Amino acid sequence: MNVKVFRETDFKDTELGPLPEEWQVVRLGEVATQRKRFITVKETVSYMRPTIKLRGQGMVLRDIVLGSSLKIKKQQVCRAHDLVVAEIDAKLGGFAVVPPSLDGAILSSHYFVFELHKEKIVPEFVSYLVKLPLLQRQVEARGSTNYASVRPSQVVNYLIPLPPLPEQRAIAYVLRTVQEAKRATERVIAALRDLKKSLMRHLFTYGPVPISDVGAQHAAPLQDTEIGPIPAHWQVVRLGDLVAKGDIWLKNGFAHGGHNQAKSGVPHLRPFNITNTGEITLAQVKYVPPPTDESSYWILPGDIIFNNTNSEELVGKTAYFGLDGKFVFSNHMTLIRVLSDDLNAYWLSKYFHWLWSQRVFQGLCRRHVNQASIGLERLQQVIIPLPPLPEQQEIARILRAVDGRIQAEETYARALDDLFKSLLHELMSGRLRVVPDSVAQSAVGTRHRLAPMLPTSSELFASPMVEETKDTG
């Protein structure tokens, strides 16, 4: 569908606020009829049971059960494109349009099912409309705060905006296009993360050689070690050996109970600031008074942050620190600083996070009540491979390339999410209008990627072995 987009300037006052002149305001009962179709479930038949996510976030499959397991044998049947209202959760945005995948699902009597009049209203348009707080506010305005307060007789009187049918279809098309672009981007991100896992297994076993060379006659020989097979020319060392030589410096952070989230002071990195994918996140930050300028608690670009205390499955998460600004770290974090020119910090950080993904630190940690920890003494017992510096740098370059692509896709996904939220409000209020069947450019204005491409093996293993960015150490 081609659509033309323009800003509306001609509004009329309505019960729902200013709306375009061509739009109507109607009660739900004018475009939907309650369906009360109950069946008696059969003992040997399996039934889909859905649940409605709050705040208009849709209907999803809850489970599939045999009729014999249901205590209440009388159940409602919902059809694709019906509007379903949760009796109890309507005040929390419990409205949803039934997706085709849940056609024929059963619902208890605590849900109200409405058949939409498709000659008046487009079901997909309604599925986006319920994402707004419009209906939820009308529930709240009627004082519906107890268990049985939302009744079908009230639901049919809720007001909604009603654009002409062609515009409803165009609005749904635009919003669907943005959502599909975001889902496609999320699939690319998932594929890149799987690629990265495979690459790390390959790189930390065979080194930075093309996958096609593994097993070839000219391939570098492997050696069996206590950490598994690695290239024969790599060394095996304990982290403590590197500390003793002065190649690495370790330090635990400091506890501070007087933290705040008002950005007073400096960020105090904690376990939740390292993601399960091995990156620093500032989605939640605690601030503490800054230490002195000479303090050893300041984090420097190129440092490695190791999570020394957490739940058993999370202890050992590791991230490379490459942020600008001043940061310190809590006592639940250990700073690993590379001091030698023969070590690459990015490579080492990725290897440590690889060990976490392989649950190595679960076997190494001390278990306490509801948490586990790895002290400096135990951390120094960790055994790592030590490739020559050029190979460390090449491994880092390859993983940086994948990390950079993942970050770019995540940024794009966030932009699409922001675009969807903005378009949802603009289109549903009529401030932004879309006219279908036009030869004008798409209203979405985003790139369409029908076949997102992942980096090829030849791209990742390109020569020469030179880092894109120089690391500290």
Q: Answer yes or no: are the C-beta atoms of 8 and 443 closer than 8 Å.
A: no
Q: How far apart are CA 143 and CA 235, in angstroms?
A: 71
Other CB atoms within 10 A of residue 343 CB: 17
The 8-class DSSP code of residue 92 comes to: G
Q: How far apart are CA 195 and CA 129, in angstroms?
A: 38
pLDDT at 57 over 80: yes
Q: How far apart are CA 403 and CA 409, in angstroms?
A: 10
The pair of structure tokens assigned to 257 is: 């109970």
Q: Is 388 helix (H, G, I), strand (E, B) or coil?
A: coil
The H or E element spanning position 34 is strand 32-35
pLDDT at 255 over 60: yes
The 8-class DSSP code of residue 274 comes to: B
Q: Is 70 helix (H, G, I), strand (E, B) or coil?
A: coil
Q: What is the mean pLDDT of the chain?
A: 89
Q: What domains, with CATH codes, occur in the chain?
A: 1-11+164-210+390-443 (1.10.287.1120), 24-162 (3.90.220.20), 235-386 (3.90.220.20)
For residue 383, what are the β-bridge partners? 238
pLDDT at 370 over 70: yes
Q: Answer yes or no: are the C-beta atoms of 377 and 171 closer than 8 Å.
A: no
The pair of structure tokens assigned to 124 is: 């997909």
The pair of structure tokens assigned to 206 is: 């065979």
Instruction: Give the E-state strand segments of 147-271 in sequence order.
Output: 159-162, 222-225, 228-231, 235-238, 248-252, 266-269
Q: How far apart are CA 53 and CA 95, in angstroms?
A: 8
What mean pLDDT do residues 43-56 have?
A: 93
Q: How far apart are CA 457 and CA 167, in angstroms?
A: 46
Q: Tens digit of pLDDT for each residue in 290-312?
A: 999 999 999 999 999 999 999 99
Q: How far apart are CA 273 and CA 280, in angstroms?
A: 6
**pLDDT (0 to 100) of residue 427:** 96
Residues 6+ apart with CB under 8 A from 222: 205, 206, 229, 230, 231, 232
The pair of structure tokens assigned to 72 is: 């209440």
Q: Which of 449, 285, 290, 469 is nearest to 393 (CA)?
A: 469
**pLDDT (0 to 100) of residue 464:** 43
pLDDT at 279 over 80: yes
pLDDT at 453 over 60: no
Instruction: Give the E-state strand segments of 321-364 in sequence order.
Output: 328-329, 333-338
Which of 2-6, 89-93, 256-260, 386-390 is most confident?
386-390
* Distances, alpha carbon 272 to alpha carbons 306, 311, 343, 359, 413, in Å: 12, 11, 27, 18, 22
pTM (global) more than 0.85: no
Q: Tens digit of pLDDT for each residue in 156-192?
A: 999 999 999 999 999 999 999 999 999 999 999 999 9
